[in-house]
Amino acid sequence: MGFIVYSQKAHHYFCIMQQQGPIGVFDSGYGGLTVLKEIVSRLPEYDYLYLGDNARSPYGTRSYETVYQYTLQCVNWFFDQGCSLVILACNTASAKALRTIQQNDLPKIAPGKRVLGVIRPTAEVIGSYSETKEVGVLATNGTVLSESYPMEIGKFFPDVKVHQEACPMWVPLVENNEHLGHGADYFVKENLEELFEKGENIDVVLLGCTHYPLLKDKIEEYLPVGVKLISQGEIVANSLANYLVRHPEIETRCARNGKRLFYTTDSTGDFDSHGFLFYGAPVHSTHVDLGKI
């Protein structure tokens, strides 16, 4: 009897071990590394698998259908690598693809797996930083046009007014390592002026794109005195920590060997040299060819 109980337990343990895999972290390119950096510092014990779809970035100016197809293909790739939990560390993918994947695709392709985004955890807290109840959101065209931030922030802070400004040049500046140059000054100044024309009482500005933390110093130069600048990395990391506590059925399927693996759909040389700027530590990537859609 004792043996049967033991072997049932062992079998259960074995099944859990079998299903364990890394936590997937996805972005169209390098930006998600700014989020991964904070997640790793908050939850170092887990294994992480990062994928940057650099060959097809930027996503910010692409249609809903394209962002959805690319993101779904990447999510399926993460599932094939054994991930039970995937974080879309990309606002554009979170805004344009997450809901459809969660509601339509997951129940069919992987009912026990989870895909989370970065917009909701940010929306849950951002209003609490503001005293004037006016928040500015800087993001890609795609994220701004989706209206995801005003809608999500409205659910948690109905009295907060959200002003958005699309900054279509910022991702190309960052991806091309031009974020410290004079071109960056021009566009940062212009977009901030536009934002504050929409809402002069804004006292909190959210970097609603995971690439933008690299422009933080430059943005701060042009930000009115007293305005708080918020990046998402730490917010997402805290939210993930909380999620794992609330969802033991997912947490037990996340491997805990402290491993980090990096994949890119484009050149590994570029990814490794550029990735360091975002991740703040050496990155050694592997190329993956996802094929054509």
**Residues interacting with ligand DGL, by CB under 6 A?**
27-29, 31, 57-60, 90-92, 140, 143, 171, 209-211
Q: CB-hemisphere CA count at 13 Å for 173?
A: 22
CB 136 within 8 A of CB 201: no
User: Nearest distance from residue 65's CB to ligand DGL, in Å?
Assistant: 16
User: Nearest distance from residue 168's CB to ligand DGL, in Å?
Assistant: 9
User: Nearest distance from residue 216's CB to ligand DGL, in Å?
Assistant: 14
Q: Which is nearer to ligand DGL, 172 or 183 (CB)?
A: 172
Q: Which is nearer to ligand DGL, 84 or 146 (CB)?
A: 146
Q: Which is nearer to ligand DGL, 126 or 254 (CB)?
A: 126
Q: Of 285, 288, 287, 278, which Cα lies nearest the Cα of 262?
A: 285
Q: What is the largest CA-CA distance in the chain?
A: 75
User: Nearest distance from residue 162's CB to ligand DGL, in Å?
Assistant: 16
Residue whose token pair is 């904070």:
38
User: Nearest distance from residue 171's CB to ligand DGL, in Å?
Assistant: 4
Question: Which residues 6+ apart lie within 8 Å of 62 measured at CB?
Answer: 70, 142
Provide the token pair at 155. Answer: 């659910």
Instruction: Name the residue type at position 138.
Output: L
104 DSSP assignment: I
CB 140 within 8 A of CB 60: yes
Q: How far apart are CA 38 and CA 236, in angstroms?
A: 8
**Catalytic site includes residue 254:** no
Q: Which is nearer to ligand DGL, 110 or 125 (CB)?
A: 125
Q: Which is nearer to ligand DGL, 35 or 83 (CB)?
A: 35
Tell whether the torsion through CA atoms of 71, 126, 144 and 212 is positive or negative: negative
Marked catalytic residue, from 74, 83, 167, 209: 209
Marked catalytic residue, from 83, 90, 167, 254: 90
User: Nearest distance from residue 212's CB to ligand DGL, in Å?
Assistant: 8
In 183-268, where do the E strands start and end? 204-207, 228-230, 260-264
CB 92 within 8 A of CB 67: yes
Q: Which is nearer to ligand DGL, 47 or 175 (CB)?
A: 175
Residue whose token pair is 């054509």:
292
CB 153 within 8 A of CB 182: no
List residues with catalytic annotation: 90, 209
